[in-house]
Amino acid sequence: MTAQIPEDIAKLSYEQAREELLTVVNQLETGGVALEVSLALWERGEALAAHCENWLNGVSQRLEQARAKQVGADSE
Provide the pLDDT for residue 3.
Answer: 65
Provide the pLDDT for residue 70.
Answer: 83
Classify residue 16 by burial, with Cβ atoms within 10 Å: 0-12, 13-18, 19+: middle
CB atoms within 10 A of CB 63: 10
Q: How does pLDDT run along the chain (76 residues), one tens digit per residue? A: 446 899 999 999 999 999 999 999 999 999 999 999 999 999 999 999 999 999 999 999 999 999 988 887 777 6
Provide the pLDDT for residue 71.
Answer: 80
Provide the pLDDT for residue 1.
Answer: 45
Contact 3, 47 (CB under 8 A): yes
The predicted model scores a pTM of 0.83
Put residue 31 in one of left, alpha, beta given phi > 0 → left and psi -120 to 50 → alpha.
left
Provide the pLDDT for residue 53.
Answer: 98
